[in-house]
Amino acid sequence: MTRRELVQTLGVGAAALSLTRSEAATREPAPPKTGRFQQDICWWCMARPGVDPKQLIKETKAVGYAGIELVGREWWDAIKAEGLQVVTIAGHGTIADGLNRKENHSRIEDEIRRNLDLAAQYGIRILICFSGNRRGMSDEEGIENTAEGLRRVAKAAEEKGVTLALEMLNSKVDHKDYHADRTAWALEVCKRVNSPRVRMLYDIYHMQIMEGDVIRTIRDNFQWIAHFHTAGVPGRRDLDDTQELNYRAIMKAIADLGYTGFVGQEFIPKADVFAAMRHAYGVCQV
C-alpha cells in the first residue's frame, strides 16, 4: 500500500506473517533511548507484507520510538496499550483534492472537525492537511484558497489543542502537480491564517528534492514548523550511506533549535524492517 492509498482511506489494512524468535534473538541491540526530541515511525511504510502488525507495535516500543503515525484507527488502542502515542493522522482526504479549491472546503471542514474530536479523545497531536494539486491554478489563488479553508477550522483546532500541519510534498517525483511543493508557499498560507495551531509539516525528503538547503531552511522557518518527516534521497529508502542527506547533522540542527516534538521516520525499508528502524533511530537520536 502506498501513502496515497492510506490517506485516501484514512487507514491501513493489517499485514500478515511474524518473525520467529530466533530471528528476533539475532538482531543487534537497540541504540540508546535518550535524546532531545522524540521519534516515531510512519505505519504505512513499515507495515510491509510479512510483518506482523502486533509485533511491529512491540518492536517500535523496544527500539525506543515514542509513537506511531499515519496508522488506521483499528490499531490505535493497541498502540496506546503499549505506551506509545498515535502522533499524527490525516486530517482529511485526499492529497490531490485538497484545500486549494473552494468547492472542497465544506467536505474538508467536516472531515477535519470529526478528526479533531478523535484526536482530542486519543491524544493525537497533529492532523496533516494537504493543499491539493494545481490543475492550472496560480500560486496566489492556491495560497489564498488554502488559507481560507484552514481559517474555517483554525479556531476549532485551537480549542481542541490539536495542530493542523500543512505538509509540503515534492511535485517532481512522487506527487506530480501538488501545489504546496515549496516552503515559501506553505509558510505564506500559515502566515495568512495566523493561528498558533496552523503550522507546516517539513518533510525533509520532499524538500530536499524540491529545494535542498535543508538546515538553513529549517533554521529560518523553525517557528512555523510543527513536525518533521525523514527518508533517504533518492528513493525514499533507508537513512544509510547510499543516500545524499546528512541526517545526523540535520537532526543536531533541529535539536539545537530547541525542538522537543516528534520526528517521523517515513522511509520504505530496503530489507529487514526492524533492522532499518533501529538504524534510523540511532542516526536521528541526538
In a domain, 279, yes or no: yes
In a domain, 116, yes or no: yes
Consecutive H or E run containing 149: helix 139-160
150-182 pLDDT, tens digit per residue, is 999 999 999 999 999 999 999 999 999 999 999
In a domain, 114, yes or no: yes
Q: How many domains does the chain have?
A: 1
In a domain, 17, yes or no: no
Q: Which three cell numbers stand for residue 88?
A: 499524527
Domain residues for the domain of 133 are: 3-9+31-284
73-83 pLDDT, tens digit per residue, is 999 999 999 99
Predicted local confidence at residue 167, as pLDDT: 98
In a domain, 21, yes or no: no
CATH for 103: 3.20.20.150
Looking at residue 160, its amino acid is: K
Ranges of residues in the chain with a pLDDT under 70 are 1-34
Residues marked active site are found at 167, 266
Q: What is the pTM of this model?
A: 0.89
What number of residues does the chain have? 286
DSSP for 195-220, written as a single string:
-TTEEEEEEHHHHHHHT--HHHHHHH
In a domain, 224, yes or no: yes
20-30 pLDDT, tens digit per residue, is 333 333 344 55
218-235 pLDDT, tens digit per residue, is 999 999 999 999 999 999
In a domain, 19, yes or no: no
